[in-house]
Amino acid sequence: MIASVAGEVTAIAPDAAVIEVGGVGILVHCTPGTLASLRVGEAARLATALVVREESLTLYGFAAEDERVVFELLQTASGVGPRIALAMLAVHTPNALRVAVAGADLKALTMVPGIGQKGAQRIVLELKDKLGTPDEAVNAALNGKAKPPAWREQVHSGLVGLGYSAKDADEAVAVVGAEADAEVAAGRAPQVAALLKAALRALSVR
């Protein structure tokens, strides 16, 4: 198994990036949030999961190790393959998925393209004891018991101020959540300006 890749980013596409490792360009499929954290010409390190099929070897990359772990756990549910699992992480952060599954929030799960009502019910049933417990702070914020991080409101307001709809702003904020989580995990405060630029890039490639 290829657990991670590290090297220079040589290309970025709407759904993947190419990272040069030892003179070999490796194509890594990523969520919009992870892609937004990459820059061509700069070094990057991604946690990865290799999906082996009879006709292909496909590598998926993540800015945070927790995303990789959740990506693999999601695929243990019936009907959830790597594409659906990646789409789930594009729409929701790992902790948001934990909250949705733990609380049987079918509406949140059906926000993911490709997941219907029955699929969401199946995911809740099969994963409720596998994904683990979300961080208390995140759980409280998502359930309205605490204010969400300041950057969320600032990025959302900035996008609305630029003419995007509230729905588009919500979707873009969800996409850049992984980048903000990675900054927090590294002990750094999320930079609103950088997150706003990442959100604008995500909206431009839809």
Contacts of 52 (CB under 8 A, 6+ apart): none
CA distance 8 to 157: 34
Q: Please list the residue range(s) of the chain that carry CATH number 1.10.150.20.
A: 66-137
Q: Is the pLDDT of residue 21 over 50?
A: yes
CATH class of segment(s) 147-204: mainly alpha
Half-sphere exposure of 163 (CA within 13 A, CB side): 0
CATH 3.40.50.720 given to domain 4-62: no
- CA-nearest of 68, 75, 38 to 53 is 75
Residues of the chain with CATH 1.10.8: 147-204
- 20 phi/psi in degrees, rounded to 5: -85, 120
24-29 and 16-21 beta bridge pairing: antiparallel
More confidently predicted of 199 and 29: 29
How far is Cα 21 from Cα 195, in angstroms, rounded to an integer? 27
pTM (predicted TM-score):
0.66
User: Greater confidence, 178 or 66?
Assistant: 66
Residue 25: helix, strand or coil by DSSP?
Answer: strand
CA-closest candidate to residue 5, choices 158, 15, 18? 18
For the chain, where do the domains classified as CATH 2.40.50.140 start and end? 4-62
Tell me how far apart the alpha carbons of residues 76 and 94 are, in angstroms, rounded to a whole number: 15
Mean pLDDT along residues 75-98? 91
Question: How does pLDDT run across 160-176, given as a tens digit for each residue?
Answer: 888 888 888 888 888 88
CA angle 84, 87, 89 (to 5 degrees): 115
How long is the chain?
Answer: 206
Closest CA to 120 of 134, 132, 136, 103: 103
66-137 has which CATH code? Answer: 1.10.150.20
> Of all residues in the chain, what percent carry a pLDDT higher than 90?
40
Instruction: With residue 62 as reference, give the H or E element that holds it.
Output: strand 56-62
